[in-house]
Amino acid sequence: MWKNIFKNLPVLHKISIFVQNYENFPNQSNKMAYQFMSAADAAAMINNGDTIGLSGFTAPGVPKSILEEVAHRAAAEHEKGNEFKINIFSGASTNDHVDGILARNNAVNMRAPYQNTPDLRKRINTHDAHYFDRHLSEMAQDTRYGFFGDIDVAIIEAAAIDETGEVLLGCGLGNIPTYAPRAKKIFIELNEALPQSLMGMHDVYVPADPPYRSEIPIYSPSDRIGRPTLKIDPSKVVGIVRTNALDGVKAFTKPDATSELIGANVVQFLVSEYRKGRIPKEFLPLQSGVGNVANAVLHYLSMDKELPNFMMFTEVIQDSVLELLRLGKCTFASTCSMTFSNEVETELFADLKYYHDKILLRPAELSNNPEVIRRLGVIAMNTALEADIFGNVNSSHVLGQKMMNGIGGSGDFTRNGYLSIFSCPSITKEGLISNIVPHVAHVDHTEHSVDVIITDQGIADLRHKDPVQRAEAIIENCANPMYQQLLWDYLKLGAGQTPVALKAALSFHATFQEEGDMRKTDFAKYC
């Protein structure tokens, strides 16, 4: 029925007509042929070994009730001596309603493509759960290619659904436009906390697969190319579960002094590039990760008077972006998820009309798409766990062994961005650990993709430098003073074009494991 309303109307007019005509859209669900049920009843239809595809990207848009009941069911089956584990495909991380409670009940067999829950992290690092780390831009297409097998169940958080299977999604999309069509059965979590005025803020689009793929026609972050809703097969919907909850994202703490220094250094670098004319006068779209460092960067951008107003083409926007939109410093944000704290999410919903034409929610396959990132000239700003003196970056593994969260979308933006910036504190644990090391213990981003490294100590521009020159720039500008001499000493040990001293390459990490303090590294042991 919606296609008749939308026919032959301009996109924006189509959206306004829909909102007007379906103002009470969620309330029409009672008239539909769908079966309403409890979360426990839905969970009873999920079986051991099932592969579940979820809506959402980070906590926003992620289901909040059915998988909690699946976790309880798993615990009951384990008490009986029965195996009960499921496979979870998401857009990115989820929340405690999914990864947390499932992990605590040992109900996860396999997880992809990204997670950040402490309980699941423990399971992954003890091999109680399998984890497949994947670039976020590639997860959807690999699923359609059949690389991961069947999707047994899709669970979609929705603000509304009509009898034809048109679904108004929530505050995060992820990969659900791919998971839902491939699923054998679908559950809808109808979240009554989500306003129907979200209609028009989504851009649902799935590229054709090879050999029929054509360009993705996004030439500006604000370009709309898809539908405002997700179309599913209504015959696959086996049940609707009512919920009423915000996303539960905790507000980030105020950036500490180190994060403030990093944020100021990032903005200083951007201003310098702009003055030199190496960033166009119109400026370029920005991508920013999530966390205190990202918040600090965005805070300093809000205060800078020299850089022009800008747009964002990114995978996640957080509280600080809403303030930038309110101030007009950021004029538009294309994203996969509005990862706002409960307080800010409430503010958003109360004034959604103001932000309606300033935010566009896309699937991860678009928000992280390498083709689009390169075309738009996105300036990529991501965080590292550690970086080595040659410019390699570790984003995912502590001491090269224990998974932290995953690579996420950092690779998508790093490899394809106009500028690829990584930042991190120079030290952690009050100096027991240097985050600038002789060689990273795990490589997520090679020296070929990393343009700039920034710490609280300063800025290392690695462009057009050979390995030794990169090392000199990083040691001089980014390493903490308490580690600089050690790093200079290491650089003297190697030979060749990239002077890696094989025996001593992981000496900082080995010393920390043995002594608990990287400063105790003794290179005499490796000579």
Query: Could you tell me the pTM of the whole model?
Result: 0.92
Q: Is residue 203 part of a domain?
A: yes
- C-beta separation of 427 from 483 below 8 A: yes
CATH code of the domain containing 191? 3.40.1080.10
Helix (H) and strand (E) counts in the chain:
19, 26
pLDDT tens, position by position, 348-405 = 999 999 999 999 999 999 999 999 999 999 999 999 999 999 999 999 999 999 999 9
Nearest-CA neighbor of 101 among 248, 253, 269, 271? 248
Q: Are 202 and 301 contained in the same domain? A: no
Q: Is residue 106 part of a domain?
A: yes
pLDDT tens, position by position, 290-333 = 878 888 888 888 888 999 999 999 999 999 999 999 999 999 99
Q: Are 78 and 105 contained in the same domain? A: yes
CA distances (Å), 45 to each of 86, 93, 148, 153, in order?
12, 24, 22, 9
Residues in the chain, total: 527
Q: Are 308 and 426 contained in the same domain? A: yes
Rounded Cα distance between 466 and 469, Å, is 5
For the question of residue 163 being annotated catalytic, the response is no
Residues 6+ away with beta carbon under 8 Å from 521? 486, 507, 508, 511
Question: What pLDDT sits at residue 251?
Answer: 79
Boundary (domain end) residue, out of 214, 243, 272: 243
459-461 and 452-454 strand pairing: antiparallel
Question: Which of 157, 166, 315, 386 is an active site residue?
Answer: 315
- C-beta separation of 520 from 526 below 8 A: no
Q: Is residue 293 part of a domain?
A: yes
Three-class SS of residue 393? strand
- Helix pair angle (292-303, 257-275), 10° resolution: 50
Q: Is residue 346 part of a domain?
A: no
Q: Is residue 516 part of a domain?
A: no
Instruction: Give the pair of three-digit tokens for residue 289.
Output: 């990760």
Q: What is the mean pLDDT of the chain?
A: 93
Q: Are 134 and 24 contained in the same domain? A: yes
Question: What pLDDT sits at residue 290?
Answer: 81
Nearest-CA neighbor of 204 among 174, 235, 234? 174
- Identify the DSSP state of 249: B
Q: Is residue 35 part of a domain?
A: yes
Rounded Cα distance between 447 and 441, Å, is 14
Q: Are 276 and 202 contained in the same domain? A: no
Q: Which domain holds residue 405?
A: 257-317+378-481
Rounded Cα distance between 470 and 477, Å, is 11
- C-beta separation of 376 from 223 below 8 A: no
Nearest-CA neighbor of 327 among 296, 302, 299, 360? 302
Rounded Cα distance between 180 and 140, Å, is 11
Q: Is residue 401 part of a domain?
A: yes
Q: Are 50 and 146 contained in the same domain? A: yes
Q: Are 90 and 60 contained in the same domain? A: yes
Three-class SS of residue 27? helix
Model confidence band, residue 1 (pLDDT cutoffs 50, 70, 90): very low
Rounded Cα distance between 375 and 283, Å, is 14
Q: What are phi and psi of 169, to 5 degrees?
A: -80, 175
Rounded Cα distance between 329 and 312, Å, is 11
Q: Is residue 447 part of a domain?
A: yes
Residue range 331-343: mean pLDDT, rounded: 96
Single-letter code of the amino acid located at 1: M
Q: Are 413 and 465 contained in the same domain? A: yes
Rounded Cα distance between 169 and 179, Å, is 14
Boundary (domain end) residue, out of 450, 466, 481: 481
Q: Which residue has the tokens 């590292």?
A: 384
Q: Are 239 and 309 contained in the same domain? A: no
pLDDT tens, position by position, 222-274 = 999 999 999 999 999 999 999 999 998 887 778 889 999 999 999 999 999 99
How many domains is the chain partitioned into structurally?
A: 2
